[in-house]
Amino acid sequence: MSMGRVFKTRYFCRWMRKTELTDSALCTAVSEMESGLIDADLGGGVIKKRVPMPGRGKSGSARTLVGTNKDDRWFFLFGFEKNDRANISARELEALRALADDLLRLSSEELNTHVEQEVLQEICHDEKN
């Protein structure tokens, strides 16, 4: 099964640098989500997925909010650790839904431009040898 294209927003990249989270953990999370393993569907193309931090088990996992069409587009939009905050606010969720909607409307060419401009970082390329 191909995971399509997986991206991180600039905001997510900045947050991720403060954690031990790795791109490979995010790619594993996308594979799990493709199999239906999500923690919550928040509507409007946004889902919540816990991603384990190295050596910390499930309870020490990061919460990630992902914009997706649940097929071939996955955008890591927002992340937080449970000890930092319990959840996101309704206003934050509305903003993330709007962002997911915008990102999911982009063409492949527009996505490539966003990557070139470092608005998005693409991870988890399908490695077909």
The domain spans of the chain are 5-123
Is pLDDT above 60 for 26?
yes
Residue 129: band (very low, low, confident or very high) from pLDDT cuts 50, 70, 90: very low
Whether 67 contacts 104, CB under 8 Å: yes
Q: pLDDT tens for residues 35-65?
A: 999 999 999 999 999 998 887 766 678 999 9
Q: What per-residue confidence (pLDDT) applies to 123?
A: 95
Residue 2: band (very low, low, confident or very high) from pLDDT cuts 50, 70, 90: low
Residue 128: band (very low, low, confident or very high) from pLDDT cuts 50, 70, 90: very low
Q: What per-residue confidence (pLDDT) applies to 92?
A: 95
Cβ neighbours of residue 126 closer than 8 Å, sequence gap 6 or more = 2, 3
Q: What per-residue confidence (pLDDT) applies to 58?
A: 62
The amino acid sitting at 82 is K
pTM score, whole prediction: 0.91
Stretch (H or E) spanning 40 = strand 40-43
**Sign of dihedral through CA atoms 1, 74, 14, 88?**
negative
CA distance 107 to 119: 15
User: Which residues, in sequence order, are bridge partners of residue 41?
Assistant: 47
Q: What per-residue confidence (pLDDT) applies to 83?
A: 80
